[in-house]
Chains A and B, each alone.
Chain A
Amino acid sequence: MESDQIVLDVSRLSLAYGKRMVLRDVNLQVMAGEFWFFLGPNGVGKTTLVKALLGMLPIQEGKIFLNPSFASRELIGFVPQRCDLNPTLSTTVSEFVLLGLAGLRTEKKETLERLSWALEKMNLDDMRLRNYWSLSGGQRQRALVARALVRRPKLLIADEATKDLDLSTTIALMQSLTDLNRKENLTVLFITHDLALAARFCTHTALFINGLVRTGSCQVVLNSEDLERAYGVPVWVHQDPTGALSVHIHGEGTPP
């Protein structure tokens, strides 16, 4: 295992808000090109861990090693859970996406190339001059991802990027990210509470269970017992002969 392939190495990490311990003894190693899902119900510390990884939250105990090539954050793209943009302010999709270049020095030609690439990847190319606020929820979400992609990141962190999206938009967005993951060797940390999504797209999972985090490949971590402990409802996990996973929550249809 080459050390430059390690994107992130978290060992014995504990995080707290004041005296309230949120996560304890977290161990996680993310290699380049992996697609990780941070999975668990709301309020279990997924975003807290991301904040700590980005240096936005002090750590109580343990260590976070971020590959030195990410130290300047130039190669990190971040899709926040919500966008704080003032809704009364007009901005075009282009201007909004170019905000993602903050902190990077790029020539005009390169800037335009990056913009076109990011918009194309998110199927927003023909909307670049549209007002951001005239877009649908799904298009806005794609613009948020494009804003992260315009940095040409090697590590993309997406916090609940599919929240509030309908099923087809969610699948389209996830397929775009999967393509980037495979073709551009983009490492992805995708935070969600959506079990079905994780089962369908992840290569690796960090499952948040009562302040602890179980990590590993999806086939290992996504098991009925741990998912039931995490979500508090019975969950059936099915793996087909190709290795593809599907999950069924008790009461939501019949397990296979």
Chain B
Amino acid sequence: MIQSFLSSWTLFYQSYLTGWLISLLLSIIGVLVVARDQIFIGAAVSQASTLGIALIMWASVVFHLERFSWFQSDVFFSAMAVIFSILAASITGRGGETGKESHEAITGWVFLISASLSILIVSHSPHGLEEIHRLLSSSIIGATTSDIWSFSLLTLLTVFLIFLFYRKILLFTLDPSMASAIGMKMKIWSLATSAWLGLAVGLSIRASGMLYTFGCLVLPALVAKNLCREVRHMFFVAPVVAILVGITGFVLANGYDYPPGQMTVTLFCVLLVLVWILRRLRNKNGL
């Protein structure tokens, strides 16, 4: 099986590397999402970026914009996905205050409006509908060298920023009222983290689809949460889990001819169940 995977490397190495880098990047950002217990933000943001892409397709047909090559370019599609992700992350970051709607309600609304609109507006365009279904079902085949570079850069930047602002990021994530009291500018922090989440998710959606993106965002961090006794350890354990499961998933998918995204997400889910059992046993034995 490993031999077969290695022999497919020349043909698919860009997809493999991109998939692993996405997994690595999102698993780090996912720690913050999971620590705040706002898992569905990941789903809503992913879905919103799909809406961004659907809107471009719709506009392209309605306003006859096919003649502009830049309008059909990957960069423009990715930019729209990122813009809509950032917008969704900013909206879902609101709420939760007294007298306002809850985070969950706003996140649910963003998810539902994005999911329904993205299908509605391309439903009369066979090509558009096909693309949206591709994004929703996930496929990392077709990633390019530029994807590898952009996700490498984004991952390095994320690690660097977390290293630089570790305590502030943690305090903002875990206890916003304390963060505000010690002088952290909450609006700026909220905007910055939303933009970062939106950027990572928006770009990942374009390269790997919604299922893989959402799965890599929350599942490695959830596994890490159940394994670690301290939040800081999650920042190491989640990426390690993401890479190990990512490699295993791709090798298995290649060996048994299954889609790699779905295989990886399934493995994450199985691992999470095992970790839940382990945690229960640990708690039961008072360890």
Binding site for B on A (CB under 8 A): 54-56, 72-73, 76, 78, 80, 82-86, 88-92, 95, 98-103, 131, 147, 151, 157
Cα of A80 to Cα of B272 in the assembled complex, Å: 34
- Please, could you name 22 A-B residue pairs with CB atoms under 8 Å apart, sorted by A? A83-B178, A84-B176, A84-B177, A85-B174, A86-B35, A86-B174, A88-B37, A88-B225, A89-B35, A89-B174, A91-B229, A92-B229, A95-B231, A95-B232, A99-B175, A100-B178, A102-B171, A102-B184, A131-B229, A147-B178, A151-B182, A157-B181
B126 interface residue, CB < 8 Å from A? Answer: no
Flag if A102 contacts B35 (CB, 8 Å): no
- Tell me which residues across on chain A come within 8 A of B175, comparing CB atoms: 80, 83-85, 99
B121 CB to nearest chain A CB (Å)? 36
**Between A and B, how many residue pairs show CB distances below 8 Å?**
79
State A73–B232 Cα separation when bound (angstroms). 24
The answer to whether B177 touches A103, judged by C-beta atoms less than 8 angstroms apart, is no
Interface residue B116 (Cβ < 8 Å from any Cβ of A): no
Judge whether B182 and A78 touch: CB under 8 Å.
Answer: yes
Q: Please give me the residue from chain A that is nearest to B279 by CB atom.
A: A90
Q: A86-B35, A88-B37 are in contact. Are A103 and B170 (CB under 8 A)?
A: no
B182's partner among A83, A86, A102 (CB-CB below 8 A) is A102
A87 to B, closest residue via Cβ: B37
- Are A54 and B181 neighbours in the complex by a CB distance under 8 Å? yes
Most chain A beta carbons < 10 A, residue from B168, B175, B184, B231: B175
B183→A89 contact, CB < 8 A: no
Q: Does B167 contact A (CB under 8 A)?
A: yes
- Chain B's interface size range is 20 to 34
Q: Roughly how many angstroms separate A103 CA and B167 CA in the complex, as a whole number? A: 7
Interface pair B181/A102, CB less than 8 Å apart: no
Q: What residue of chain A has the Cβ atom nearest to residue B96's Cβ? A: A84
Chain A residues within 8 Å of B231, by CB: 89-91, 95
Min CB gap B103→A, angstroms? 12
A86-B37, A103-B168 known; A80-B230 Cβ under 8 A: no
Q: Is the CB of B178 within 8 A of A99?
A: yes
Give the distance to chain A from B202, nearest Cβ to Cβ, in Å. Answer: 26
Q: Residue B36 at the A interface, CB < 8 A?
A: yes
Task: Say whether A86 contacts B183, CB under 8 Å.
Answer: no
Residues A80 and B178 in contact, CB atoms below 8 Å apart: yes
CB of B229 to closest CB in A, whole Å: 5
Nearest-CB residue, chain B, relative to A88: B37
> Is the CB of B179 closer than 8 A to any CB of chain A?
yes
Tell me the complex Cα distance, A78–B176, Å.
Answer: 12
Of B35, B36, B177, B181, most A-chain CB atoms within 10 Å: B181
Q: Which residues of A contact B229 (CB under 8 A)?
A: 90-92, 131
20 more A-B contacts (CB under 8 A) besides A80-B178, A101-B167?
A: A54-B183, A72-B183, A78-B181, A82-B177, A83-B178, A84-B175, A84-B176, A85-B174, A86-B174, A89-B37, A90-B228, A91-B229, A92-B230, A99-B175, A100-B178, A102-B168, A102-B171, A102-B179, A102-B182, A102-B184
Using CB atoms, name the residue of chain A closest to B176. Answer: A84
Complex partner residue of B167 from A76, A86, A102, CB under 8 angstroms: A102
The A-contacting residues of B in range 159-180, CB under 8 angstroms, are 167-168, 170-171, 174-180
Shortest CB-to-CB span from B35 to chain A, Å, is 6
Those of B47-94 within 8 Å (CB) of chain A: none
A207 to chain B, nearest CB (A): 23
Q: How far is B232's CA from A72's CA once the two chains are assembled, in angstroms?
A: 26
C-alpha gap A147/B183 in the complex (Å): 15
Q: Which of B168, B170, B178, B231 has the most CB atoms of chain A within a 10 A radius of its CB?
A: B178
A151 to B178, CA, bound (A): 13
* The 8 residue pairs across chains A and B that have the minimum distance between CB atoms: A73-B183, A78-B181, A102-B171, A102-B167, A86-B37, A95-B230, A80-B177, A102-B168
